[in-house]
Structure 1
Amino acid sequence: MTTTPAAAVRAALPRLLTTLAPYQAAVVRIGTAGTWGAYLLREWGNRRVLYGDRSPWSAELNDRLLADTHAFTALSWSDGRWWFEAVYLLALLSAGAVALGWRTRASTVLFALTVLSLQNRNVFLGDGGDNLVHLMAIYLVFTRCGAVWSLDARRRARRPGRDPAEWGEPRALADALAAMLHNCAMLVIAVQVVLVYATAGWYKVQGARWQDGTAVFYPLKLEYFTPWPELSGLLGGSLLVTFALTYGTVAMQVGFPFSLAARRLKNVLLAVMVVEHLAIALLLGLPFFSLAMVSADAVFLPTAFLLAVQGRAAGWWAARRAARPTGEAVGEPAGAVAGEPAGGSGGSDG
């Protein structure tokens, strides 16, 4: 029996109007906000030199650049120190709120605005991971990234609202449209990650050092990228190791988009790439770049794996509470621990 396109669309519509991949969205939310917040904390002592009134890239020079790029930054509204301090502190607070999932609908908007404000104040900073944080911050605004594993989910579990079936038509329609917008944003995140790996891989293929298998050798010999000189020297001293790492990196990046057609192969490559990013963080001293990449990669994590992690965490928490002396534990709904959304297709994020 032949299925017409119209029939296929009608069959898929209920799924499209349901919030998909809420756990993956939560991991992307936590990872992206946590990475940016950790970076801002690390650079607290240097903040005025990087983005503020002491920056070599002055406000006047930045204003000339903004006139050409039309990029947004709230720091262009005033070049005063206290305005900058307020924006920087707001960026830290919004990153914490997004990571915890507190009022995510509003906090993701504030998070995106503060990320853009700081990064567009000095576009010459960063190691590549900042570009990914920049994009993820915008995409998260359109997702229901607080549906699970958030303070919002905990609050909804304690005070569940009305069942969506009881909502009036306007609110039910708005909920369905919000779910569809979330699904589209998650698709955009997935496509963005694929484009990052595809472009990186194919550009590497064209490079002479990647073709002869020596590209990984050179950063291992640069002092700036060797926080552990002994370890870098050990790896860089083996021709076979550098050859394998060089060709392996190219093969994984070029092959990852094609692996999406084979779920098991995709999961294996995803695990290897996460290990690779952690190795980059350790060997090359690029922790925030690696964390940003791992956070974006999380969009492809299997739901079964994330549910297993949730089950382990819930079991550990229940065992810990059971071990407390009688009378210390305060009862909580199971959904608050598990982080399940209350009712409907994902509920409200704030």
Structure 2
Amino acid sequence: MPVSRLSARVTDAALGPYQTAVVRIGFALTWLVFLVREYPHRQELYGPDGPWSWALAHRLTTQNGAFTALMWFRGRLWFEVVYALAVLSAALLLLGWRTRTVSVLFMVGVFSLQNRSVFVGDGGDNVVHLMALYLVFTRCGLVWSLDARRARGERAACARGERVRDPVGPVLWCGLGAVLAAVTAAGRVQGEWLVPAILWTVWAAQGLWWAAGRRARWAQPRILLDVVANLVHNGALVVIMAETCLIYATAGWYKIQGSRWQDGTAVYYPLHLDYFSPWPGLAGLLSASGTLVMLVTYGTVIAQVAFPFALFNRRVKNVLLVILVIEHVAIAVVLGLPFFSLAMIAADAVFLPTSFLRRIGTWATRARDRLRIRRRDAGAPAEESAGRDGEPDRVGFPA
């Protein structure tokens, strides 16, 4: 019976829809803000004007088998196209538009830029790199997305007996399939087999999913595909959780082996490095207290080492989550590493309680409805918005 219940749970539904939605929004926002922030310096970071030339990048990717679309063609125009597509895919993934397709394009954009110049990244880039791959296998658009809104509209139309048509999906599928086939036939897709296999598998699965939903006479094919999608999603969710725990566990245990972490002075030294001191006055104020430095040093190690074990207790886990989020916010402000902190906070979000995320969604919905009411009241003429007693008539507006 326990095995049967577990099997039913992992196949009947995609677990953690709110958590995966937050992870999707967090990493898409992190990558989007980074690309927009570094737009004036894009040529030096990943383009032809960088110190790591196209020839060196081609030689390195040939040796290590890394995937990057920037090696398909040489020139400034192709770089600008890939960079623009990376920005667009991040924005669309943030909004949750066609997440199954856009998540693959998001992965291609992340891999293409990061593998082009591997020496300009940091720990945050590594986390984005890994999560971009894992998000492809999740159903991260079930809630808080344009896909969820479109699905509700389709269900309402079907309930009214209307025929639902979706020309965008087939057109997008055919266009991307043609591009992938052309690139593959031209021999441009080089490197290891993993990324090309993912691209072709997702493309074929999308076509099979559409055919089962639109052309199949029985419901069994769609149910089978839905079960497979739930299994893949739940497996990817477990991998994301395990990856986050592994990051904290390895970081904590490596810190324990360092003498500066053992004597409680490790935090003092980064605060006095010019490269990690955007606010020298604030860094000096924090490092002036030896007791504070010691508490932060030991507290960081304890929180990172204990976090994987705290998952067995919900209350302790939530407390450590708050501590880790505060720690990353402090790193972003004091040490000037905002994108690393955003990436880690987005990874931490996979452990947030569902009740807390639903409460946030309810607050956001109420704020949106109030904003709509204010806009309608501000735009309506006074004689139309006034009731019998001279007060604005709010009948018909959402509560």
User: What is the match of residue 133 of structure 1?
Assistant: 128
SS at match of 2:133: helix
4+ long deviations beyond 3 Å: 161-164
Question: After superposition, where does 1:136-175 map in structure 2 within 5 Å?
Answer: 136-160=131-155, 168-175=219-226
After TM superposition, the score normalised by the length of structure 1 is: 0.89
Q: Is the aligned partner of 1:33 residue 2:28?
A: yes
SS at match of 1:247: helix
Q: Is the aligned partner of 1:69 residue 2:53?
A: no
Structure 2 alignment gaps of length 5 or more: 160-212, 381-395
In structure 1, distance between residues paired with 2:297 and 2:234: 36
Structure 1 residue 117: deviation in Å? Answer: 0.4
Q: Is the aligned partner of 1:204 residue 2:198?
A: no
User: What is the match of residue 344 of structure 1?
Assistant: none
Question: After superposition, where does 1:306-325 map in structure 2 within 5 Å?
Answer: 306-323=357-374, 324-325=376-377
Larger RCO (CA within 8 A; separation ≥ 6): 1
SS at match of 2:119: coil
CA deviation vs aligned residue, 1:199-246 (integer Å, no higher than 9, x gap): 000000000110111110000001111111111000011111111110
1:295 to 326, 346, 349: 346
The amino acid of 2:287's aligned partner reads G
Structure 1 residue 167: deviation in Å? Answer: 6.3
User: What is the match of residue 239 of structure 2?
Assistant: 188
In structure 1, distance between residues paired with 2:5 and 2:289: 56
Q: Is the aligned partner of 1:272 residue 2:287?
A: no
Question: After superposition, where does 1:185-264 map in structure 2 within 5 Å?
Answer: 185-264=236-315
Structure 1 residue 120: deviation in Å? Answer: 0.2
In structure 1, distance between residues paired with 2:218 and 2:251: 47
**CA distance 1:59–1:172, change in 2 (3 Å):** same
Aligned residues: 324
After TM superposition, the score normalised by the length of structure 2 is: 0.78
After alignment, is 45-54 or 153-162 more displaced?
A: 153-162
After alignment, is 169-178 or 318-327 more displaced?
A: 318-327
Q: Is the aligned partner of 1:60 residue 2:55?
A: yes
Structure 1 residue 12: deviation in Å? Answer: 1.6
Rg larger in structure: 2
Structure 1 residue 318: deviation in Å? Answer: 2.4
User: What is the match of residue 196 of structure 2?
Assistant: none
Structure 1 residue 327: deviation in Å? Answer: 8.7
In structure 2, distance between residues paired with 1:320 and 1:47: 37
The amino acid of 1:31's aligned partner reads G
Structure 1 residue 14: deviation in Å? Answer: 1.8
CA root-mean-square deviation: 1.9
CA deviation vs aligned residue, 1:289-339 (integer Å, no higher than 9, x gap): 0000000110000001001101111122223333432997xxx9x9xxxxx
Structure 1 alignment gaps of length 5 or more: 1-6, 335-350
